[in-house]
Amino acid sequence: MKKNTRKSPKRVLIVLGLLLLLVALFSLTLGRYPISLNELVGIISSQVIFIKPFWDEKMEIIFWNVRLPRIILAILVGSCLSVAGACFQGIFQNPMASPDILGASTGAAFGAALAILNHASKAMISVSAFFFSILCVGIVYLVSQKSMGNKILALVLSGIMVSSLFNAGTSFLKLAADPMDELPAITYWMMGSLSGASVKDIRFVFPLMCIGIFPIILLRWKITVITMGEEEARAMGVNTGLVRLIIIISATLITAASVSVSGMIGWVGLVIPHLSRRLIGSNYKYLIPATILFGAIFLLIVDNVSRNVLTSEIPIGILTAFIGAPFFLYLLSGRGDKL
Amino acid sequence: MSISVEHLNFSYCDRPVLEDVSFRAVCGEVVCIIGPNGVGKSTLFRCILGIINNYSGIAKINEIEIKTLKPKQLARLIAYIPQSHTPAFHYSVLDMTLMGTTAQMSAFATPRKQEIIVAEEALKILDIYHLRDRDFTKMSGGERQLVLIARALAQQAKVLIMDEPTANLDYGNQILVLEQVKHLTSKGYTIIQSTHQPEQALYYADYVIALKDGRVYAAGKPHDVMDEELIFNLYGVRVKIQSLFDDKIRMCIPEDVLLHR
């Protein structure tokens, strides 16, 4: 490859940023209650300058309380799940790692099921899901630290074990649930959906996500070095134990925050990092910003499908699986070396 | 630049791996560590690289104890060159080399122009600048080994530790890599490498350390210590050591081979 034919990573990032802006604007106009671009600009700018409303009041309420929170949440959740996936793939040197590798989602599912069973409010379901998600990963980490051998392998294995324990717990709760209302609620939660997105949700997860994503951005070059393996990274001057711990905590925090408000949305955290690698390479200096933007774009588009294609909503987790699994098969077949 | 190891002992789960190992390597030397598989060569390297810390005895670099140094401080003094491998992800040669500059950067930094200049210099020293934008995972083993050496040079440490640098390389690449390594000693680098080939020690080493059962079995200049008895005691192979070109070079030929001819 000649120097001038290389894609400049910065240019790719700018294009992704503009694309996100466009998709977000487009998504704001879409819905059962279509808002034209004119009205959209009017509603937004009326916050700053006085404009005589030429749209009906109902539209404005829908925009601020339903449409906008949902779009923002899709962006946040898409970014966070993708970045968490990229982080776990990096620190485990494993292209097949996804955000739930340490049990963040199974923990959250248990927490949500428990809250639903206790007739908790929607906010409490989120809090419970978040708490159990963190708890599950915490247990996984502590168990793995007891191991004498390869710490990474111990983490992944105890992730599988503790996950299946929480899975069993969730199954038991389902068994105990009232099949008329509680069981469907649990099942629906586990399919993943952004349909209930509210300003409250955003207030709850936004600070957590910021706290989580900040260290990841700061340490992104260190993740690149850690993909070389424990010994090499140490010899290159990286305090691997500390960096890995910080990244695990941060990635878990943003995964737990995402899952707690959106339910289980699979595949995003696995597929988006790989797509981003194809676009921009594996250097985490650029890969992290690229996955943030790409993940947001992807989930926005899928959520548009989820809320607009059929008269009743399709849970987004089902859609990401429908798109993600065949896509991954395509990656594996023939061009598997690119993984 | 000097490395000294004094009375180093290390056990893994009560099984002694290294016992009373002592040696010293000074500036501009190639030190070859020979010995059978599993004798503790890699473990010794891990001690020197600060990856293993629970050993007894002292390992020092420039008279500073290695245990007391932070990973970053140590990385500025010693670089590690692993066997050529395939990483989990695709990196360009430049990205690979840039990783070496990590120890020189502040904690939250990413490589910028200054680091790129350092990395490109390292590629130029090894004559592989033209590979700059190639995919590391799609190169030959020899090229990859040279990139890993360039990465160590970009680390700007003057001591290089190489774990069997020529394993899995074809003959041409073995010689290429070893010649480049030898060339580095004239630039003030100290090189400690492990090898399975007694010839490599005879050709390139200034100092040889033979390990057997976790102990230093013999140490000294290759022509002084590497005799037929040593090779038999290390590897269980009877060899004839032949002197060539007025004893400029010595070769090691297994006796069994001579019998068959």
Mean pLDDT by 10 residues, chain A (339 residues): 60 95 93 85 86 83 91 96 96 89 94 94 92 95 87 91 95 92 91 88 94 96 93 92 94 94 91 90 94 96 90 88 84 58
What is the DSSP code (8-state) at residue A32?
S
According to DSSP, residue A100 is labeled G
Q: Set out the domains of chain B in order of their start, with CATH numbers.
A: 1-77+158-233 (3.40.50.300), 86-156 (no CATH)
A interface test, pick of B74, B85, B89 with most A CB neighbours within 10 Å: B89
pLDDT value at residue A1: 39
**For residue B2, what are the β-bridge partners?**
B26
- CA A327/CA A338 separation, integer angstroms: 13
B118-127 per-position pLDDT tens digit: 999 899 988 8
pLDDT for A6 equals 55
Query: Is B11 strand, coil or helix?
Result: strand
Give the pair of three-digit tokens for residue A118: 């206790």
CA angle, corner B240, sides to B235 and B241, nearest 5?
95
- Give the mutation candidate from A239, A283, A288, A331 for the B interface (greatest B CB count, under 10 A): A283
Q: Output DSSP code: residue B135.
A: B
Q: What's the pLDDT at A2?
A: 40
Show the CA angle centred on residue B124, arms to residues B123 and B126, nearest 5°. Answer: 70
CA nearest neighbour of B70 among A234, A145, A232? A234
How does B40-72 read in b/e, with b if 16+ C-beta sit within 10 Å? bbbbbbbbbbbbbeebebebbbeeeebeebebb
- 3-class DSSP state for residue A318? helix
**A285–B111 CB contact, under 8 Å:** yes
CA–CA dist B74, B80 (Å, integer): 11
How far away is chain A from the Cα of B101, in angstroms, using its nearest Cα? Answer: 8
Contact across the interface for B91 and A283, Cβ inside 8 Å: yes
- HSE toward the beta carbon, residue B106, CA cutoff 13 A: 4
- Report chain B's mean pLDDT, rounded to a whole number: 87
For residue A281, give how far its alpha carbon lies from the nearest alpha carbon of chain B (Å).
Answer: 7
Q: How many CB atoms lie within 10 A of CB B20?
A: 14
CA nearest to B170, candidates B209, B140, B150, B214:
B140
pLDDT of B147 higher than 90: yes
pTM of the model as a whole: 0.90
Residue B247: pLDDT band (50, 70, 90) is: confident
Report ipTM (2 d.p.): 0.89
Question: What domains are there in chain A, each with its CATH number?
Answer: 8-338 (1.10.3470.10)
Residue of A nearest to B97 (CA): A225
B111: nearest CA in chain A? A221
By C-alpha distance, the chain B residue nearest A221 is: B110
- Reported as a single tens digit per residue, the pLDDT across B199-245 is 888 888 889 998 888 888 888 888 888 888 888 888 888 888 888 88
